Amino acid sequence: MTPPAGSSPGESPTAIEIADAVRHKRRPAVEFTQDALDHIREIAPLNAFLDDFGERALDQAHAIDTRIASGEADRLPLAGVPIAVKDNICLEWGRTTAGSRFLEDYESPFTATCVRRLLDAGAVVVGKTNLDEFGMGSSGENSAFGATTSPHGSERVPGGSSSGSAVAVASGAVPIALGTDTGGSIRQPAAFCGCVGLKPSYGRVSRYGLIAFGSSLDQAGPITRDVADATIALRLMAGEDPRDMTSSARAVPEAVPVESCRGVRVGIPRSARSAHNHPSVNDALSRAADALENDGAEIVEIDLPHQEHAIAAYYVVAPAEASSNLSRYDGVRYGRRAEGATLEAMYVRSRTEGFGPEVRRRIMLGTQVLSGGYERAMYMKALKARRLIKRDFDRAMAEDGSGCSLVLTPTTPGPAFRIGEKAGDAMAMYLQDIYTVSVNLAGLPAVSIPAGSAEDGGDELPVGVQLVGPTFGEERLLGHAQRMETLLAPD
C-alpha cells in the first residue's frame, strides 16, 4: 500500500518545529492537532491506531493556544505537539487495552507518569496506537484488534511490539509516539519503518502506568522522526518518580550534538557482521562505521563473548516475569470474565478467551521455568547469563579509558519481512530480536537510526543501525547519535 500523500516523515514538521511555530504564534496548536486527526483517518487501512481522541484532543489544543496567548510560552517546550501513545500505557480517558481482548473495555483511572510529563510540557495526545498483545511480539501481527501494516508495503510487517507507534510516525501522522521496549519493541519497529527509536537506560523513565510485561526489562521511550525530537522527549519524560521505586534520581543532562566524532572510540562486536544477516544490513553497518571513521572516530572490533546466549536468556527471563505479571488477569478483579460452573472453570475460560496464542505461549513457558525442578536449571542459569552479558558491555565501555565510548550494531538482522512469513515459526520470530535483547538484559540505553534501505522482493525497505551507550549515558549517546544521523542522511 502506498502511504497517503504528504505522509513522508521528511515532509512533515518535527516536534521542535511545531512547538516553535505554536509558541511564537505563527500557527495555532488547534490546526496542528486537526492535521494529525485528519491524517490518522487517512491511514486507517494501516490499522496503526486503536482510538483517536477527536474533540478531546482539540480541546487540549485550544487550552494550549489560550495559555500561549496569556504569556505561558516559556513553560511549554512541546506546545501543541501532537503525540500518540502505545495502548499499553495508561491514560485516564479512553480505553487502555494492551492490544488484548482481556482488557478490551478497560478504562484506566490514572495517567502514566511519562505521558503526564509530556502533557505538562504542552503536548496533545491525539490517539492510542496498536500493538502486539501485552507487548509480546516482533511483528505487529499479534494484536487482538488486527495486525498493523507497514507504510512501506501492504504485505510487510511494521515490526513490534510498538507497531502502531512506529507507523504513526513513519506515515507522518505525529512527530512523536510513545512505545515500550522490553526486548527491542521500540528499536525494531523504528528500524523497519525508517524512524528513530530510543530505548532509555532502565530506571531513566518511570514505569508507573505501564501495563507490565517484564518488570526488570520494560522501559518507555519515544519513536520520532529525528534524534533531536527523541532527545527533547526523553529529557521531559525522564526523572525520579515516587510511584516507581526503580526510577532514578539522576538528572538528564542536555544532549548537545557534537561537531565531529574525533577522539571517540566506537566498538563493533565481531558477531555483528554475520552471514545470517541480510546483505543490506551488513552493508548498512559498514556504511555507518565508515562514516564515523571518516569523521574522526576510532573503530575497533570488540568481543561480547556471552552475546550468543542473549536470546536464550531473554526468552527465559521475560516469560517468567510475564507469567507472574499476567497472573492478575483471572476474570475476577477486572477485565474479561467468562462464565464457568466452578471458580477454576471460570479462570480457565476467562484466560483462554482473553489471551491470544502468543501470550498463552509465553505464560506457559514462564510458568514452566519457574516451576519446581526447572527454576534452578533454567531460570537461575538465565539470570547468571544476564549478569555476564551486562559485564561484557561494562568491560567494553569501561570508564577507565581502556574501553569504547559507544557500541555500534545492526538493529535487526534484516529488513521488514512479509506478513505471515514467520508466524508459524516462533524461533525465527524471536531471532529478529538478536541485536536488541541484550541491551534490555543489561539495562543500557540504545537508539536505532535509519541507515539506508534494502531491496527485497521488489520492495524498497528501510534498514537501521543501533548505537548503544553506557548505563545512564544518554547525553553521550544522543549527542553522537545526532552526528551519526547527519553523516548517514541521504544526499
CA distance 252 to 249: 9
CA distance 213 to 319: 8
CA distance 268 to 250: 28
Which among 100, 162, 185, 405 is annotated as catalytic? 185
Cβ-defined contacts of 272-277 (< 8 Å, 24+): 272/408, 272/409, 272/410, 272/435, 274/413, 276/413, 277/410, 277/413, 277/414
CA distance 398 to 195: 30
108 noted as active-site residue: no
185 noted as active-site residue: yes
Which among 7, 100, 138, 161 is annotated as catalytic? 161
396 phi and psi angles, rounded to 5 deg? -65, -35
> Are the C-beta atoms of residues 184 and 217 closer than 8 Å to each other?
no
Pairing of strands 265-269, 298-302: parallel
- Position 246: which residue type? T
> Are the C-beta atoms of residues 237 and 118 closer than 8 Å to each other?
yes
274 noted as active-site residue: no
Which among 86, 128, 199, 422 is annotated as catalytic? 86
When computed from its CA atoms, the radius of gyration of the chain, rounded to whole angstroms, is 21
244 phi and psi angles, rounded to 5 deg? -135, 105
CA 280 to chain centre: 23
- Position 368: which residue type? Q
Active site residues: 86, 161, 185
